[in-house]
Structure 1
Amino acid sequence: MAPGESPRRKTRERSHPHHERRRSQPQSPKKPAHESTTSQSSSQALSADSLARLNLLNQHERARARAEETTPKKPRRKRHREVVDEKIVVERSRRQHKRKKRRVVSGALLEEGEGPRLKGLRGGHKNNDEHSSGKKKKKQRLCGLPFELHLGVELTFVKVIIGGVLLVLIIIIVAVAVVVSKKKGSKSDSSSNASTNDSGKPSNSNLDGISQSDIPVAAKGTDLDPFSWYDTTDFNVTYTNETVGGLPIMGLNSEWDDSKSANGNVPPIGKPWGSYSETPARGVNLGGWLSLEPFITPSLFNKNGVIDEWTLTTYLGNQAKPTLEQHYATFVSEQTFIDIANAGLDHVRIPFSYWAVKTYDGDPYVFRTSWRYLLRAIEWARKHGLRINLDVHGLPGSQNGWNHSGRQGSIGWLNGTDGALNGQRSLDLHDQLSKFFAQDRYKNIISFYGLANEPKMTVLQPSDVIAWTSSAYTLVRKNGINANVVFGDGFGGLLNWKGKLTGLSGLVLDAHQYVIFNRDQISFNHSAKIDYACRGWSDQASLSSNTATGFGPTLFAEWSQADTDCAPNLNNVGLGSRWEGKFLSGDPQTQVLSPGCPAKSASCSCSSANADPSTYSSAYKEFLQMFAEAQMHSFEKGWGWFYWTWKTESAAQWSYQAGLKAGILPAKAYEPKFKCEGSAPSFDGLPETY
């Protein structure tokens, strides 16, 4: 939301990130810690056996002594030598047992990759008790031997018993290791469907048939080397350096299938969608994934001075690539697309930034790693019938100065010393992207091709943005893009686009609607928010979509059901909220220093809005779902909508995934409970302070 807001149109005063907001090799075969514990238990048990045996022999000796009082003396065998012999046998057996145990753990099992999994036995009293009880049972049998057995037979029997105990111990250890292995293998990460090894890293088993010698020396360790990838799940790992438009096709399979539809209400990808004015898009964003935002993934931004992707990658240095690639590999998985389709959605908007394609001198960004994950995401969407809205979220120089563009601060795109240079760099970026995505494999699945997310036209010269948009449109069409081309409304008011950029077929205006970044609209009470969503935004959508009153085709590619700006880091890292009157933007035009909630009192609080949805009252849940469905209704007066966003770490009112779980969104997007033709409750019982 920019300055100059209108009561009928959100204009963001944003300073927040999205809208001011807005193989693993085996371990060294050293003895595992649990081995010493188990060996010690075995040694103690054998000592107990020896003591029991010695006690038995002493009893035997006393019996013989009593018998000798009434019978003639016979030559006696030397007991000392016999006992020493027994101690030698026992000691040898103990050493042999210890050697065998070491071979089991650090030999065959470790070579088969099972060794580390035995760590589940470390310090396990239950397992030690099981071993002890087994030995105790054997000991009882030994003590019950008849005295008349010859000592040599008895010692032989002792060896057999010891061997049996060892065998039982080995069987128990192997069995427990298998159980532990199976349990670990059965665990599933809700954020990733890739199999993982003990370290949590994807197993990358599809590399097993590939030889590292197949990778040219010059490519080893580069982005083209699949052995350097953190996660190879569902990637084609056959080495290739082929490019289209100068962009690598790494990871792509040669074939694809466009026969799937997201649900029974929409056509399969291989068939034309038809008219978006008649069948509007129902979609969701994958925000905070390939273009980071602090309020979506605050765990990545919990370092002093880290406020955007520029400062994060600067802070991380050579750890930036592994850190971000692990985020790319785990924050979104194939299950994400399965869940999106199951929610009754049919489109996915994927924000990504220029460093997926190109970086420049002085850029700290991680170059091109996100590109591979973008390509895989499109294939997963295809597999589950979801169409794509490609969104360039960050352009060279930053098109809006907000943290979700990559760098918070000044605007250097079409503005300032390097403004023209960055404008040309952005055209060069689209030259490459459009050549790549003009390939046949993308003609059906890419429905919307975005040029620039949220250019801040309240600062930029509107004429410069319009001229750049016209040039970019011409360029991508020349390169073969047949998708709808999307440009941002720039926060200048939807109806101000009437008569501009006319005659460009398939050009679509993109508006992002929120009440919470406008100091007047955030103070609407519950009923007024729903009424505004139903009436105000519905009217805007209808008027904007009509060329007689507005631009024409209009899409609403961002909105949420949040009714406050309370989510931490939403208004930039460390800044407060308008809701509580603590929005210290540093700009007199945008800062809000008095409570903005409907009650306009010191009792305005963010605690309830930021609480876990399980604590929401039934009335508040009813309001949140109704507020969401009112927006869906209005935005379908245009070409449809994309909720911001699918997943967050903690900001539940910005997460479609969390909203479904909490029961504050319709189970199927195409089956809302509330439509604006009906009347909304008054919600008088809900506090206006939270």
Structure 2
Amino acid sequence: MAFRSYDPVPNPAARASNPDFDFELHSPRMGTFMGAALNDEASSLDTRPSSVTDDYSSSVRAFNRQSQADPSFGLHYRDDPHDPNASADNLGQPPKEFASPTSPTVPYANLSEKRRDPTTQYASPRQRSRKRAILIVGAIALIIIIVVVVVAVTLSVRKKSSPASSNISSGSGSSSQSGGSGSGKSGSTSSSIAVTGGDGSTVTMDSGATFTYSNKFGGYWYYDPEKPLTNNARAQSWTPPMNETFQYGTDNIRGVNLGGWLVPEPFIAPGLYEPYANSSYPAVDEWTLSYNLMNETSQGGLEGVLTNHYETFITEQDFAEIAGAGLNHVRIPIGYWAIETWAGEPFLAKVSWTYFLKAIEWARKYGLRINLDFHALPGSQNGWNHSGKLGTVNVLYGPMGLANAQRSLGYIRILAEFISQPQYSNVVTIFGVTNEPMGTQMGQDQLSAYYVQAYDIIRTASGIGEGKGPYILYHDGFYQLSQWVGFLTGADRIALDNHPYVCFGGQTSDPYSSRLTVPCDTWGADVNTSMTAFGLTTAGEWSNAINDCGLWVNGVNDGSRYEGTFDTTAVTGDCTPWTDYQNWDDTFKASVEQWALASMSSLQNWFFWTWKIGNSTVTGKVEAPQWSYQLGLQEGWMPTDPRQADGVCGNTNNFAAPLSAWQTGGAGAGSTAAGVAAQYAWPPATISNPGFASAATALPSYTATGGQVTLAVPTFTASSKTVSASVGSGWENAQDTAQKYAEIGTCEYLFPWVGPAAPPAPLCGGNNRRGAYAEPTPAPAGSS
């Protein structure tokens, strides 16, 4: 690989250069995803929590508190239960809270056949002799006795192992049921381990450890290691089971992010970064952490430490707890290194993908859908530490902006081909193609052209129409959501993503109660507008934080605005009362919960950031408590039932579900997208690159001749033998023969994270090629 030399080691405090960009609201140095702080109104709002509806009743509550700001998205709030038609009174069928009538392998499905009236089934013709009739009557009596015995035994087993009390063991069923560990690995016999269960049942994980499944919402897990791709689980009674379609726009997304797991971030997983935070080469992002871990020997180096993190930070039990918390989706960030790395890139390649495969398995087991979030792109799409490398924007911006965008689109194709396979499409139902691209630097036209390319790639992989591949989720690029109205009208199942935060804007010591005007008035009005004008609109990230207090929330050793230690901001107050959750009283916890409920009520299709914050190795506790859903449940400031949010903002004038037919993959889907897409040429004519000529033809680019890469598929075992399961090839559309992007042999390339710089001159020319790029290899802490 040929790269032009460049000096010096990237400065961890480097900021993207753009005089028109509001760094107070969108700081590139931030240690985490920073959506715009939409509003900081301080007037109080009398909120009115509503009663929680019965599991099997439908509630319709929404609002339309129009704000004075430009409304840029909108939404309804509705629960439409998916009540199975099966009745508990229908002998031979499971209770209706347990299984869907469409489940192909529900327990006891064949008992209804055994309960047919034998006197009808075996009745004799009148012409037959009395002797023959006596024989037949005797035979019938014998059959009746056998049936009674079978039914009695079966009902006894069923009573002992119903989802409400214990495990469902294999027995009289339409399919063999065996095994039951989270990964399908078990040394037990097929008759001794449960394949399904509800509240109070025991789950055996891959390690052999067990836990008690807690789900008060009628949900049940399902995993048959002999048939590991079966979709029978259900997260809650009001959420469609995995073998039914989740009706986006009608069924509401109540989700949570698994941030910091497969893309470790400093403030989420501080224990990884703290040993190197003050070294000669501080770990401030995964790039610098990786270099430091290469020199670590006691824990297995880079691979050993990160594999242990993947293995322990999020486990199968987390997925069970998420379903038990009343949530139905998980958003899982991954970096491009889950697929591959190129020379000079220090990230641990491919290992995180094996854990994403585990996530698919666990989500399937507990009835959760996945939003696959492409969180970190080569070169960085926003210059923030969660993009992999802190520094500058290098996707659709700067001299490597086109090349990095091409490479990213190649990875989008590889991911799309995998998740579009029918074995996984019921689980991975949303694909967020790029997390938080800095559109205000890239330009909306350039970002739109990139999004159109992503649309074409994904629909080529899956086809067009309901059930064919995922919803395609586009982040707003930090533009007003109203600016996306009309984009790709008629396209098949596209959605818009916004990340509303208030914590990174102007700081105030005002309490939660005086900030509720933000979610209830501003966010809510925007949601309703966008759901009507654009289509499905989600809040892919939001939190309970109303200021930027918390260890490394802005970045490693970057301080906070609230205490005046970040970018020389004014002092607002002391962060201690906001982070010392162990001393929060009930009144304070109730105020945090009220913020959470108001946010859920207004955003309506949402993913909280994030499920878990790891303990600091210095203090031994969570140092950013408002960001942890799990901790909030444990300590009492998150609602134990998210449906408590219904109506909290005094909702009226709903979005009228459902979405238009084409927005859900129905009639007309994709019919007008091609015409709209024609206005977005690819590659764009120009790429922003301050101070230099930015014609795309003058910039480095790659060529799609790098071969076809397919992602690894899962393997399953049961009773110490490999299970033969149709896991797919990793590539859904055999007619899609496009290859990944690679270098052009006669061209010169800059360091992919170079930032604004002069492009190579001449760009291509064989003999004029320079040597390999001179990104300095740092000396990690402890090296000589």
Whether these two folds match at TM > 0.5 is yes
Contact 2:421-2:469 at 8 Å conserved across structures: no
What residue is the counterpart of 1:491 in the other structure?
478
Inter-partner Cα distance in structure 1 for 2:511 and 2:643: 27
In the TM superposition, what is the alpha-carbon distance from 1:508 to its structure 2 partner?
Answer: 0.4
Distance 2:488 2:647 in 1: 36
Distance 1:207 1:552 in 2: 45
> Contact 1:285 / 1:350 at 8 angstroms: preserved in 2?
yes
Mapped partners of 1:321, 1:428: distance in 2: 25
Shift of 1:205: 12
SS, match of residue 558 in structure 1? coil
Aligned residue number for residue 538 of structure 2: 555
1:576 is matched with which residue? 559
Structure-2 separation of matches of 1:570 and 1:496: 29
2:522 is the counterpart of 1:536: yes
Shift of the alpha carbon at 1:462?
A: 1.8
**Cα offset for 1:12?**
2.6
Deviation sequence 1:143-189 (CA, Å, 0-9, x none):
xxxxxxxxxxxxxxxxxxxxxxxxxxxxxxxxxxxxxxxxxxxxxxx
Match of 1:323 in 2: 305
Q: What's 1:654 paired with?
A: 627
Choose which of 638, 643, 651 in structure 2 pairs with 1:665: 638
AA in 2 matched with 1:328: Y
Tell me, yes or no, if structure 1 residue 262 matches structure 2 residue 235.
yes
The answer as to whether partners of 2:28 and 2:383 remain within 8 angstroms in 1 is no
Deviation at 1:668, TM superposition (A): 1.4
Task: Name the residue aligned to 2:31.
Answer: 17
Distance in 1 of aligned mates of 2:416 and 2:184? 33
Equivalent residue pairs, number:
437
Of 610, 630, 647, the match for 1:645 = 610
Match of 2:775 in 1: none
**Partner SS for 1:374:** helix
Name the structure 2 match of 1:500. 487
Residue 262 of structure 1 contacts residue 384 of structure 1 at CA under 8 Å; is this kept in 2? yes
Which residue in the other structure is 1:291 paired with? 263
Q: Which residue of 2 aligns with 1:26?
A: none
RMSD over aligned Cα atoms: 3.0
Alignment of 1:50-69 (within 5 A): none
**Bigger relative contact order, structure 1 or 2 (CA pairs below 8 A, ≥6 apart):** 2
Instruction: Give per-residue Cα distances to partners, 1:591-618, cap 9 Å, x unaligned.
Output: x5212x4xxxxxx11011111x231122
Tell me how far 1:4 sits from its aligned partner: 10
TM-superposed deviation, 1:583: 1.2
* 1:162-561 equivalent positions in 2, closer than 5 A: 233=207, 255-274=228-247, 276-302=248-274, 303=276, 304=279, 305-317=282-294, 319-480=301-462, 482-519=469-506, 525-547=511-533, 551-561=534-544
Equivalence for 1:135: none
Kept in 1, the 8 Å contact 2:613–2:628? The answer is: yes
User: What amino acid maps onto 1:391 in structure 2?
Assistant: D
- CA drift of 1:525 comes to 4.6
Work out the CA distance in 2 between the residues paired with 1:553 and 1:255. 31
Classify 1:496/1:523 alpha carbon distance in 2 versus 1 (closer, same or farther; 3 Å). Answer: farther
| Aligned-partner SS, 2:430 | strand
Deviations along 1:389-422, whole A, 9 cap, x unmatched?
1101001111001000100001111222221111
CA distance in 2, matches of 1:233, 1:456: 42
The alignment partner of 2:234 has SS state of coil
Q: Once the 2 structures are TM-superposed, how far is the Cα of residue 552 of structure 1 from its aligned partner?
A: 2.7
**Deviation sequence 1:629-667 (CA, Å, 0-9, x none):** 00000011xxx0000000002121100000001111111
Q: Distance in 1 between matches of 2:514 and 2:28?
A: 22
- Equivalence map 1:139-154=2 (5 Å): none
- Give TM-score scaled by structure 2 length: 0.53
Is the alpha carbon distance of 1:375 and 1:626 closer, same or farther for their aligned partners in structure 2, counting shifts above 3 Å? same
Percent of aligned pairs sharing the same letter: 38
CA distance in 1 between counterparts of 2:406 and 2:344 reads: 18
Q: How many angstroms apart in 1 are the aligned matches of 2:184 and 2:377?
A: 36
* Residue 617 (1) aligns with residue 617 (2): no
Give distance in 2, aligned partners of 1:532 and 1:562.
13
- The verdict on how the C-alpha distance between 1:483 and 1:676 changes in structure 2, with shifts beyond 3 A counting, is same
Q: Any idea what SS the aligned residue of 1:537 has?
A: helix
Work out which of the two has the higher radius of gyration on C-alpha atoms and give 1 or 2: 1
Read off the aligned partner of 2:325 and give its amino acid letter: A
Residue 143 of structure 2: aligned partner: none
For 1:607 and 1:17, the matched residues in 2 are separated by: 20
Q: 1:641 to 1:21 in 2, by over 3 A?
A: closer
Q: CA deviation at 1:14?
A: 4.8
- Cα deviation digits, residues 564-592 of structure 1 (max 9, x gap): 211111101111111122212xxxxxxx5
Distance in 2, matches of 1:21 and 1:360, equals 30
Letter in 2 for 1:307: V
> TM-score when scaled to structure 1?
0.60
Partner of 1:137: none
Aligned AA (2:253): A
The one-letter code of the counterpart of 2:493 is: G
